[in-house]
């Protein structure tokens, strides 16, 4: 069944829908895969300059609105903010129309300006990415796709490029005085801000070509993240009410993140600042505004200036890798266990600082002590691979290249279906791997590590390889 049909049916039957759960989950996974592919596609497009980006925005804003009738509000309109909602023209998707009528009424009842609500939602259209028929294609063989177990070294090599390091270094020197002021105002290291900027939009060179209101509306209609999408849409309306942004300025990535440092609307409302002093918070066109806003967000997330995000380490032979258990321990404790910086010299953090030992590919390959700033990076994007790439770029823009240790590319990794088998068997053995979702997150790795330790398997590193899977199957 096509996903759009499934979802329409789901929306119609909401509250009473019980059947076909597994199919819905598979469809959702297909959708997520489609979204991932789209995101990669967008990322790999030729790099547009800011001028080209602005042209795209203008093109978006000027796209024909042929189905818009000439409507005027019904009933009296009070002074100040409008409270009467004009009717909408059909979007071409009945589920979307029904959702919009309902949501717009709720937004106005909740105090949003009716004219802003109308302007925000008038031009929404179903996007294939969320509601199209073709996402059905990705649905067919999701469980066996190895991409879900894509090794971290592939992610890192596409994210931490020499081009990004070089251009990041260039921007650091071009914007020296701006970064001086940002560091003084927010206490966030310029290299970290630049690394985020590089990861989010290739240093402002690609800010997406979706309309934030439209993509969030599609997300709401798709249904799975409806309340999140609706609250972000309400934030988008408040942004317009405050006068900081105009309706035609709301260019975003596919998930609704906006500007050079990719802020969601709610993040914009709380953390966006006007740093170039022109009176407007312009994260799209003003690098000072975007970078200071990111610094403001990182500071609020607990960023610690002049403390490393992570340090690659060497360990003595026979080291107990099960200590990579997610627990924070004092740096002095780690040093007493024999860990030392790969680059030699001091760690560059106080002995009292807390750090976690992290093995991105288990006992073979690079090993890191991660400090608090790593988790601050994860407030931007919860993936370890993302935060790790931000960290490597933070170092890379000042000429420190890592990791030094070689990635164990010879290791045979598990497919998503294999990981589901691993999770199921760990759960059966009493090592709680969490839900059987085929994604080897920290819960799954922790369960595998406890299994290895209980069975005296060395190394007990929790890294899911074919060998580890066989050991778990043998024990069952
Ligand atoms: Ca500004």
For residue 182, the CA-to-ligand 1 centroid distance in Å is 14
Q: If you search the block for the tokens 């294609």, which residue do you land on?
A: 137
For residue 50, the CA-to-ligand 1 centroid distance in Å is 16
Q: Span 170-188, mean pLDDT?
A: 98
Given a cut of 50, whether residue 5 has pLDDT beyond it is no
Of 143-157, 219-233, 325-339, 358-372, which gets the smallest average pLDDT? 143-157
For residue 256, the CA-to-ligand 1 centroid distance in Å is 21
CA 471 vs. chain centroid, Å, equals 34
CA 199 vs. chain centroid, Å, equals 10
Q: If you search the block for the tokens 């060179």, which residue do you land on?
A: 205
Residue 442's pLDDT band, with cuts at 50, 70 and 90, is confident
Angle at which helices 190-201 and 176-186 cross, to 10°:
110
pLDDT at 69: 38
Residue 229's pLDDT band, with cuts at 50, 70 and 90, is very high
Residue 133's pLDDT band, with cuts at 50, 70 and 90, is confident
For residue 60, the CA-to-ligand 1 centroid distance in Å is 22
Answer yes or no: are the C-beta atoms of 138 and 34 closer than 8 Å.
Answer: yes
Answer yes or no: are the C-beta atoms of 265 and 258 closer than 8 Å.
Answer: yes
For residue 156, the CA-to-ligand 1 centroid distance in Å is 33
Residue 147's pLDDT band, with cuts at 50, 70 and 90, is very low
For residue 296, the CA-to-ligand 1 centroid distance in Å is 14
For residue 181, the CA-to-ligand 1 centroid distance in Å is 15
Domains of the chain (ranges plus CATH)? Answer: 1-73+82-149 (no CATH), 151-205+298-407 (1.10.530.10), 416-475 (no CATH)
CA nearest to 295, candidates 260, 266, 252: 260
pLDDT at 80: 54
pLDDT at 441: 87
Given a cut of 90, whether residue 230 has pLDDT beyond it is yes
Given a cut of 50, whether residue 58 has pLDDT beyond it is no
Structure tokens at 47: 């790099």
Query: In the 3-class helix/strand/coil scheme, how is 324-358 assigned residue by residue?
Result: CCCCEEEHHHHHHCCCEECCCCCCCCCCCCEEEEE
Answer yes or no: are the C-beta atoms of 460 and 321 closer than 8 Å.
Answer: yes
Residues 322-365 pLDDT 10s = 999 999 999 999 999 999 999 999 999 999 999 999 999 999 99
Structure tokens at 349: 């953090």
Q: 10 or 302, which is more confident? A: 302
Residues 27-48 pLDDT 10s = 434 444 444 444 433 333 333 3
pLDDT at 138: 45
For residue 281, the CA-to-ligand 1 centroid distance in Å is 5
Beta strands in 371-420 (DSSP E): none
CA nearest to 127, candidates 103, 162, 163, 91: 91
Residue 212's pLDDT band, with cuts at 50, 70 and 90, is very high
CB atoms within 10 A of CB 108: 21
pLDDT at 476: 87
For residue 226, the CA-to-ligand 1 centroid distance in Å is 32
* Residue 428 to residue 426: CA distance in whole angstroms: 5
For residue 153, the CA-to-ligand 1 centroid distance in Å is 38
Residues 191-202 pLDDT 10s = 999 999 999 999
For residue 277, the CA-to-ligand 1 centroid distance in Å is 5
Of 50-64, 71-85, 254-268, 290-304, which gets the smallest average pLDDT? 50-64
CA nearest to 339, candidates 363, 319, 361: 319
Given a cut of 60, whether residue 8 has pLDDT beyond it is no
For residue 282, the CA-to-ligand 1 centroid distance in Å is 5
pLDDT at 46: 30
The average confidence (pLDDT) of the chain is 84
Q: Span 118-125, mean pLDDT?
A: 98
pLDDT at 83: 80
Residues 365-420 pLDDT 10s = 999 999 999 999 999 998 899 999 999 999 999 999 999 999 999 988 898 899 99
For residue 118, the CA-to-ligand 1 centroid distance in Å is 26
Q: What is the pTM of this model?
A: 0.80
Q: Span 270-281, mean pLDDT?
A: 97
For residue 449, the CA-to-ligand 1 centroid distance in Å is 50
Given a cut of 90, whether residue 52 has pLDDT beyond it is no
CA 370 vs. chain centroid, Å, equals 20
Given a cut of 70, whether residue 255 has pLDDT beyond it is yes
CB atoms within 10 A of CB 234: 22
pLDDT at 351: 93
For residue 191, the CA-to-ligand 1 centroid distance in Å is 22
Given a cut of 80, whether residue 76 has pLDDT beyond it is no
> Burial level of 293, CB count in 10 A (0-12/13-18/19+)?
buried
Q: Span 237-254, mean pLDDT?
A: 95
For residue 295, the CA-to-ligand 1 centroid distance in Å is 15
CA nearest to 393, candidates 179, 200, 183, 154: 200
Q: What is the DSSP letter of 183?
A: H
Given a cut of 60, whether residue 162 has pLDDT beyond it is yes
For residue 260, the CA-to-ligand 1 centroid distance in Å is 13
For residue 285, the CA-to-ligand 1 centroid distance in Å is 9
Q: If you search the block for the tokens 């760690």, which residue do you land on?
A: 347
């Amino acid at each position: 069944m096509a996903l759009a049909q499934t979802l329409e049916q789901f929306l119609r039957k909401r509250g009473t829908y019980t059947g076909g759960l597994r199919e819905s989950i598979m469809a959702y996974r297909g959708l997520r895969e489609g979204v991932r592919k789209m995101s990669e596609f967008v990322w790999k497009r030729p790099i547009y300059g800011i001028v080209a980006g602005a042209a795209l925005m203008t093109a978006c804003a000027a796209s024909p609105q042929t189905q818009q009738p000439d409507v005027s509000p019904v009933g009296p309109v009070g002074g100040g903010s409008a409270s009467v909602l004009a009717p909408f023209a059909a979007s071409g998707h009945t589920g979307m129309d029904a959702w919009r009528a309902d949501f717009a009424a709720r937004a106005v009842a909740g105090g949003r300006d009716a004219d802003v609500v109308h302007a925000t939602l008038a031009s929404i259209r179903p996007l294939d990415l969320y509601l199209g028929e073709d996402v059905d294609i990705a649905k067919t063989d999701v469980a066996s796709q190895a991409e879900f177990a894509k090794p971290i070294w592939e992610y890192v090599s596409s994210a931490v490029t020499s081009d990004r390091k070089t251009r990041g270094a260039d921007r650091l020197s071009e914007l020296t005085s701006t970064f001086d002021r940002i560091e003084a105002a927010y206490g966030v290291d310029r290299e970290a801000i630049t690394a985020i900027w590089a990861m989010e939009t290739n240093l402002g060179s690609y800010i997406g070509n979706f309309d934030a209101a439209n993509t969030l509306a599609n997300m709401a209609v798709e249904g799975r993240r409806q309340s999140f999408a609706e609250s972000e849409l309400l934030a988008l309306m408040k942004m317009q009410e405050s006068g900081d942004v105009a309706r035609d300025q709301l260019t975003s990535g596919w998930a609704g993140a906006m500007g050079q440092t990719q802020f969601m609307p709610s993040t914009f409302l709380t953390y966006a600042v006007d740093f170039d002093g022109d009176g407007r918070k312009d994260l799209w066109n003003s690098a000072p505004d975007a970078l200071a806003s990111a610094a403001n967000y990182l500071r609020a997330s607990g960023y610690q200036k002049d403390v490393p995000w992570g340090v690659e380490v060497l360990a003595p032979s026979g080291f107990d890798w099960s200590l990579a258990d997610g627990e924070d321990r004092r740096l002095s404790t780690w040093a007493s266990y024999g860990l030392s910086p790969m680059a030699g010299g001091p760690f560059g953090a106080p002995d009292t600082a807390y750090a976690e030992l992290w093995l991105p590919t288990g006992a073979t390959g690079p090993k890191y002590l991660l400090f608090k700033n790593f988790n601050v990076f994860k407030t931007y994007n919860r993936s370890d691979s993302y935060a790790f790439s931000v960290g490597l770029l933070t170092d890379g823009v000042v000429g420190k290249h890592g990791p030094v240790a070689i990635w164990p590319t010879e290791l045979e990794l598990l497919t998503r279906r294999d990981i589901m088998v691993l999770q199921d068997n760990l759960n059966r053995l009493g090592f709680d791997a969490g839900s059987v979702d085929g994604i080897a997150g920290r819960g799954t790795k922790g369960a595998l590590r406890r299994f290895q330790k209980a069975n005296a398997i060395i190394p007990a590193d929790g890294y899911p390889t074919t060998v580890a899977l066989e050991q778990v199957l043998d024990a069952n």
